[in-house]
């Protein structure tokens, strides 16, 4: 009898794609600009996943404006519960480690009696943030090499390094910092590149 267990863990394909929601937000919102790309490769029912994106916001606050600009990446593993599907459709649960590098700035006005209004700027030139995500979602073959995928995320454990006089309000790839847990969602269009013939 031939043992085929090892062959199961040889990758059969790589998927590459872009997040349609991020592209849509950049097109229709004036306070956000960014994009995100993603890739995964299969090892039997386990998928190694990498995601990379850019993110900048422009938030109006009381008497001022907060802006940030940076990049982020996430790496992790998804476990496919439809691993016997010959088309490799996916219902998955997974985990990610997220890392962001960015700068941010707050410009605001301050009134003091008997003095003219003063404008102040405070900024962080280099901030890093890390966090953890639990993920779940679907990836479905639409036609030939074209796929659609949806991923829901529960983000938590945010840790920031590099804050000075300004406490960062928004972290690229994570979101607003005033919540200890943050929900996120992505909707991907993907192309799958086969790495070996389909049996």
Q: What is the mean pLDDT of residues 17-26?
A: 97
169 vs 115 pLDDT, higher one: 169
Q: Confidence band (pLDDT; 50, 70, 90) for 113?
A: low
| This prediction's pTM | 0.91
Q: What is the mean pLDDT of residues 93-117?
A: 86
Weakest mean pLDDT among 36-40, 119-123, 125-129, 195-199: 195-199
pLDDT at 1: 47
Residues with Cβ < 8 Å from 33, sequence gap 6 or more? 26, 54, 55, 56
Task: Flag whether pLDDT at 2 surpasses 50.
Answer: no
SS3 of 151, please? strand
Q: In the chain, pLDDT over 70 holds for what percent of residues?
A: 92
71, 52 in Cβ contact below 8 A? yes
Give dist(CA 49, CA 76) in Å, integer. Answer: 5
Q: What is the largest CA-CA distance in the chain?
A: 92
Would you list the DSSP string of 24-68? HHHHH-TTEEEEEEEEEEEETTEEEEEEEEEEEEEEEETTEEEEE
Structural domains in the chain?
Answer: 5-194 (2.40.160)
Q: Confidence band (pLDDT; 50, 70, 90) for 165?
A: confident
41 vs 117 pLDDT, higher one: 41
Q: Confidence band (pLDDT; 50, 70, 90) for 196?
A: confident
Give dist(CA 148, CA 89) in Å, integer. Answer: 10
Q: Confidence band (pLDDT; 50, 70, 90) for 4?
A: low
Q: What is the mean pLDDT of residues 165-175?
A: 94
Distances (CA, A) of 179 to 126, 131, 135, 162, 170: 22, 13, 18, 19, 10
Residues with Cβ < 8 Å from 65, sequence gap 6 or more? 58, 59, 106, 107, 108
Write the pLDDT tens digit of every residue in 55-95. 999 998 888 899 999 999 999 999 999 989 988 899 999 99
Q: What is the mean pLDDT of residues 141-170?
A: 95
Residues with Cβ < 8 Å from 113, sequence gap 6 or more? none
Encoded tokens for 127: 């901030």
């Amino acid at each position: 009898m031939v043992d085929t267990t090892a062959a199961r863990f040889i990758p059969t394909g790589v998927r590459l794609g872009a997040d349609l929601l991020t592209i849509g937000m950049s097109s229709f919102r004036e306070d956000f600009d960014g994009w995100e790309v993603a890739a995964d490769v299969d090892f039997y029912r386990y998928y190694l996943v990498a995601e990379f994106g850019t993110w900048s916001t422009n938030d109006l606050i009381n008497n001022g404006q907060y802006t940030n600009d940076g990049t982020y990446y996430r790496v992790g593993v998804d476990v496919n519960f439809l691993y016997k599907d010959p088309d490799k459709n996916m219902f998955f649960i997974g985990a990610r480690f997220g890392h962001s590098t960015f700068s941010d700035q707050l410009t605001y006005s301050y009134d003091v009696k008997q003095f003219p209004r003063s404008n102040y700027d405070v900024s962080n030139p280099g901030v890093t943030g890390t966090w953890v995500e639990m993920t779940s979602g679907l990836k479905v073959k639409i036609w030939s090499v074209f796929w659609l995928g949806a991923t829901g995320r529960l983000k938590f454990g945010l840790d920031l390094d590099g804050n000075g006089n300004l406490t960062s309000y928004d972290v690229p790839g994570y979101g607003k910092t005033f919540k200890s847990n943050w929900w996120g969602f992505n909707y991907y269009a993907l192309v799958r590149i086969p790495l070996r013939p389909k049996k």
